[in-house]
Amino acid sequence: MLGTLTRYLRFMGYDTMSANSLTPGSTREDTLLLEIAAREGRILLTRDRELARRGGEQAVYIASEAIMDQIRQVADLGLIEPEIRMIRCSLCNTRLRPATVREIREARYAPQSHAGKEFSWCPTCRKLYWMGSHSHRLKKRLEEMRSS
């Protein structure tokens, strides 16, 4: 439901859990999400009005389907500061660590030129991260959003 928002929040450095990590098809999914939010002190972001109502102050109904509007709403509530931090894996939420020379060299998708780039590594997904064109476009979109 909010997969893109989840990834963007992780790019911004926020410890973000997704409902996708739960067992698919669970009839108790909403109840489990509310229990996890309460137990771990998380804010539940949802596009489901009824789930947001049930969650009370622990939940936020995300009004828009547009990603930048979603980020603006969460930022306007004071829950996030929208800027790229690149400290979490966008796929699994694991904290990134500096990549080794070997990890960079063995990543077939790494840029040819390493000059001026800092590389991070997800030890769980074994994925290499750096501020490339995708990150720069996201950074620009966030800056434009903040200035509007």
pLDDT tens for the 148 residues of the chain, in order: 799 999 999 999 999 998 877 766 666 888 999 999 999 999 999 999 999 999 999 999 999 999 999 999 999 999 999 999 999 999 999 999 999 999 999 999 999 888 889 999 999 999 999 998 888 899 999 999 888 7
**pTM, full prediction:** 0.90
Quote the DSSP letter at residue 79.
S
Count of Cβ atoms closer than 10 Å to residue 135 Cβ? 14
Residue 120 bridge partners (DSSP):
98, 129
Residue 40 is predicted with a pLDDT of 95
- Rounded Cα gap, residues 13 and 31, in angstroms: 26
Quote the DSSP letter at residue 42: P
> CB burial class (10 A; 0-12, 13-18, 19+) of residue 88?
buried
